[in-house]
Structure 1
């Protein structure tokens, strides 16, 4: 249960941070998550929290890297292999070596092997953190592509270098030749095993699709388990599990055409599941950092209070060294992104600032052993603290500087215009359905109600809804009066129905608790009636035995007559309700605008709900046909607006995509029924 509560609290903290971010998006989302984690550390369960590094790498890092791999552009990756090797291997190794010596020089007591381990910890970059900071900024395409490709592989470089340095410190032995050989074995071996297993898992997925076993309950769990199995297999062989899942993800991306043979519903569910999962896991990383910081701070103060300033100084120096190396590497085009001469300085500055650290850095820091030869592992808390400061610096400085040197991202689609056109599109489809199918009011209104409910984005105004209900009730009264005037219904039934409508109109304008009073009176009446009926049961039994009491046959005849009267009354009431319903729907259709759409939808839903109680029959086939026509009307509206140049091409494409997605989802629902 402890694990369950821990996961639930982490999810709650992540959700809370994500909810707070839109209110003040100037601060990067990662800082909200770190702060949420820091607050979570006050919960007794998270006091002195220690992260299990193996579980962290398996449960969080493996699926994230697999997802990054399967969403990577494999064509662009093959085209930029020299750039990947330059940034993710050569620069990463040089950074580890240089920063290792710098760390050893600043903190003389820190063994050289641990200094290299610390350098390896803070070397890997995190493209996801870059994206979270530059959400509303126009990052040059070449720079962003370089960062994304680099982050796929420099994680493995840092991990291999970290393991080599840690092994050298624990064993006290290190050979350059053996270290280089081990590096390439782990690096290339991880890629190889990931490729082999990726091929097997991809073939298995394609086989399931081709044999018809491609239900979401099979394929989605299959996809989610894939990175965990591949990571565990690679680590069991003492190869790079990170590179293995990246290679498998890249292979999945390359086989995307075969995977698209699966149903549309499966593709949509799979994509949505992965987006939700990776979003939560990315949030976990920084929430866990926030949870862990108080414990690290407490341990640092307990061990080396006087050395705290030197640790912060070293973190700043390490960040500046990495910044300088990255700047020079990109400035002189050793990164091989081939920027134009006039853009090299600008791209170099952006690339250097975007060397943000996060997920892998935190994982490696916490993967330091807790003990060595039965005693606390030396400098463990120190290295974790320095890594945490580097992470925060790498997030904070770009968050301040990048907005000053990068222009705001131009939105290809104006959100307000998109919202307005979406509303206009629904109004157009609604009016066309009502105009083309007046003989099928009930089925048409069911379709209209569903279409409108999918795109409502604000709560209706209660006062306007009340006014609309009053107007529609008046329309119903006029409809019933017309039926009575033409002798289609008796005046007695018409008066009874109209009294109900008038009461409804009055109740709409009174306080809501008046309805509760009526409800309690109704319940009291029913209880009193039952008690009276139960108390008089014996009296009725005695009356049945007296002369002149109706015989059973006469009672049956009276009962049959009452049933006929009741059926006739229901038929008359159904006629009045249907006529009023049709007139109200016609009124709503002609008075719907984008501005009052929410209020119209609320009134329409109320009438549709009531009407369904009167008419209970299957209309699914006709509704399906009307849905297909409604989608066609939506397509027609976008095409008309585009022909008139009333909307830009980007907005038209976005609307087409939305309509297409809605149509595919609906057709999948039909197929599943």
Structure 2
């Protein structure tokens, strides 16, 4: 069990690493990073001689992915294009298996015809996940992309059924065309039927749970995640297509969208986020597993048939070219029924042929070949797995290279960089208004501003700019403490101690050991000058009072008043304090005075300095001072004020969008994107506020 845990953990880490590197070099499809991460991971002893368990792979990875694809499919679009689905996912798939089966037997001498058909069935299914991976930044025509997505939903079942029939024919030595067709129809349409029935039951049960008050995320979300696994297992135990069953169930969920929306906003957000995270991880798993498996396949091939390696690669290339040509002709002759205009049909045929990418199902079927046959190793098993792996890599590599020359880059409704820039401006407007309208609640205001700024952008602050702002804030602290000591608000000794600690922290936070050292000398010289001058003036007043008492003949009342003033001045002379609890309390009171005044002055500086360009840097410094201030000034009143200010800030953000749109400074698409972001932020905050209460 511990080995399984480590194996899964490493696969997750490899997926995360690949997904982390991808944004730095987005020109290369994400799938290649994941395959490379898996290949590196295969060097670990845990993955030596790694063998993929196809049943677990199909259940744990393919079932939820296909269910999610079905959920996001458009039922109306599927009904409208049902003829195209049958053409691509059934007719073309069967024709491809038959044609490539004969090609495989012709090229690879000694390969039985049944295994040749099994190999053809393995490399026939296309993969929507892989297609999306290579077309992320490319504008694929809508008709072609829709055809590819619909085809990949259903041609997996065609490939699986054909593969099962071919294996049965090889292991039993018997094959009947009529019984094969009958078996195909039962498995195909039976999988659809059981998926529709079980999907309807799953939707009814979910609606019942919500209506009966059991609509918490801890109940509904696990229920939704378990549904595809249960339906897949039920269909497979009935001898039907589990893949088609989960696709059909997903379509039922898609049709029942209005019913499923009758739940809390929080539940919908949590459910959507959970499925997004789950599918992203599983999609990465597919290609990481491929990368982990390839070295084992390579070693096995070299041990079995080293001299025939060139033949295997040639056959893989030939199979890929045959599929490419067949798909091109099928779409070019309009047998795909996507109703392309004649002027676009040639281009659509080329794009549709190149985009027939293979991945998950091909990999699963290849590894599901039996290990033994009549007590010996299953014939041609490693060969077929190797050929399938080469076909997968070719189908990923060729369109990655060719499609960017054929198709333009994808044009988004709004440029992401423009969205980030407008979001920064929006938050800057809201925070400026918030600071202006709430001058008496600095702590609550700055906390709200900090949170809003952190939501506006996730860019990393410039370290040098942050250090410059911190240096300036430190100068403000020094000047504030200096002024408070001059005014007698705090003692000189405590001011000196505060400045020493401040300068020490400044040295620790800077790579330059002399940074802010001038602040210390400036403060010390000021304190020396101020201390001497103040002591000198006080001593001069005492001497004058003593001379007045000695030289003037005053009344007893006047002499008593003058003596009281003299005693007061003498008491004000600096003297060494005794360390006791009262002194500690006084020091704490002095620190709180300093901290409060410093916080207000620094926040005023940051508010005046903040702009769209330095939001990240200002927020980093604001975060530091807010955290320090909260340690000494936390209160329920501040929390209540923050809640009111958040509502106020969201209203300012809406006002900004409305004003920008009215002035035609932003497009309708940009305004819609900003409205959606602000609405999401407000909805999440209100939900958190409700939970806190």
Q: Which TM-score band (shorter chain)?
A: 0.7 to 0.9
1:217-245: CA deviation from partner (whole Å, max 9, x where unpaired)? 22221111111111110000000000000
| TM-aligned CA distance change 1:209 to 1:483, over 3 Å | same
| Alignment partner, residue 247 of structure 1 | 248
* CA contact 2:420–2:456 (8 Å) conserved in 1: no
Mapping for residues 594-613 of structure 1, pairs under 5 Å: 594-613=612-631
- Please give the per-residue CA displacement for 1:94-119, whole angstroms capped at 9, x wherever unaligned: 11111112222222311111111111
Distance 2:583 2:293 in 1: 76
Matched, 1:671 2:664: no
Output the CA distance in 2 between the equivalents of 1:264 and 1:240.
35
Q: Residue 510 of structure 1 is aligned with which of 507, 511, 514?
A: 507
- Residues 442 and 333 (structure 1), Cα distance of their counterparts in 2 relative to 1, 3 Å cut: same
Distance 2:356 2:480 in 1: 72
**Structure 1 residues 467 and 37, CA gap change in structure 2 (3 angstroms):** closer
How far does the alpha carbon of each residue in 1:134-156 deviate from its partner, in whole angstroms, 9 at most, with x for none? Answer: 11111000000000000000000
Task: Give how far 1:297 is off.
Answer: 2.1
Which secondary structure does the structure 1 equivalent of 2:490 belong to? helix
CA distance, structure 2, for counterparts of residue 641 and residue 195 of structure 1:
48
For 1:226 and 1:288, locate their aligned partners in 2 and report how far apart those are by CA, in whole Å: 24
Q: Which residue of structure 2 aligns with residue 468 of structure 1?
A: 469
Q: Structure 1 unaligned runs (5+)?
A: 517-560
- Is 1:389 matched with 2:379? no
Residues 485 and 492 in structure 2, CA contact (< 8 A), matched pair in contact too: no
Name the structure 1 match of 2:656. Answer: 637
CA contact (8 A) 1:16 1:36 kept: yes
1:462 is displaced (CA, Å) by 4.4
- Following superposition of structure 1 onto structure 2, how do residues 214-233 of structure 1 map, counting pairs within 5 Å? 214-233=215-234
The reply to whether residue 662 of structure 1 matches residue 663 of structure 2 is: no
**Mapped partners of 2:387, 2:460: distance in 1:** 49
Deviation at 1:471, TM superposition (A): 3.8
- Any idea what the Cα deviations from partners look like across 1:524-547, whole Å, max 9, x if unmatched? xxxxxxxxxxxxxxxxxxxxxxxx
Tell me the residue number matched to 1:432.
433
Distance 1:340 1:463, change over 3 A: closer
Post-superposition CA distance 1:226-284 (Å, at most 9, x none): 11111110000000000000001111111112212222222222222222221222222
Cross-structure match for 2:520: none
Cα displacement (A) at 1:379 = 1.4
Distance 2:255 2:423 in 1: 35
Counting only pairs closer than 5 Å after superposition, residues 220-299 of structure 1 correspond to structure 2 as: 220-299=221-300
Moved more, 586-595 or 65-74: 586-595
Q: Residue 506 and residue 206 in structure 1: after superposition, are their counterparts in 2 closer, same or farther (change >3 A)? A: same
Residue pairs, 1:90-101, within 5 angstroms: 90-101=91-102
- Residue from 602, 608, 613 that aligns with 1:584: 602
Secondary structure of the corresponding residue to residue 493 of structure 1:
coil
Which residue number corresponds to residue 59 of structure 2? 58
**TM-score, length-normalised on structure 2?**
0.85
Bigger CA radius of gyration: 2
**Offset of residue 623 of structure 1:** 1.4
CA distance in 1 between partners of 2:284 and 2:606 (Å): 46
2:641 pairs, out of 618, 622, 645, with 622
Q: Is the 8 A contact 1:156 1:187 kept in 2?
A: yes
> What's the CA shift for 1:322?
0.9
How far has the Cα of 1:83 moved from its partner?
Answer: 0.8
In 1, distance between residues paired with 2:511 and 2:242? Answer: 67
Q: Is the 8 A contact 1:186 1:238 kept in 2?
A: yes
Alpha-carbon distance between aligned partners in 2 of 1:397 and 1:496, rounded to the nearest angstrom: 75
8 A Cα contact 1:466 1:508, kept in partner: no
Partner of 2:522: none
Matching of residue 652 in structure 1 with residue 667 in structure 2? no
2:29 maps to 1:6: no
Confirm or deny: 8 A CA contact 1:125 1:358 kept in the other structure.
yes
Q: Secondary structure at the match of 2:390?
A: helix
Shift of 1:484: 7.4
Residues 1:469 and 1:36: Cα distance change in structure 2 (over 3 Å): closer
Question: Is the Cα–Cα contact under 8 Å of residues 96 and 124 in structure 2 kept in the other structure?
Answer: yes
Q: How does 1:303-314 map to 2 (within 5 A)?
A: 303-314=304-315
1:477 and 1:498 in contact (8 A); partners too = no
Structure 2 CA distance for partners of 1:112 and 1:601, relative to 1, 3 Å: same
1:355-381 CA distance string (max 9 Å, x none): 111110111111111112222111111
Equivalent position SS for 1:286? helix
Aligned length: 625
Q: Name the CA shift for 1:354/1:466 in 2 (closer, same or farther; >3 Å).
A: closer
Which residue pairs with 1:443 in the alignment? Answer: 444
Distance 2:618 2:675 in 1: 25
Give, in angstroms, the shift of residue 465 of structure 1.
3.6
Change (3 A) 1:100 1:507: same
Cα deviation, residue 571, structure 1: 4.9
Offset of residue 621 of structure 1: 2.4
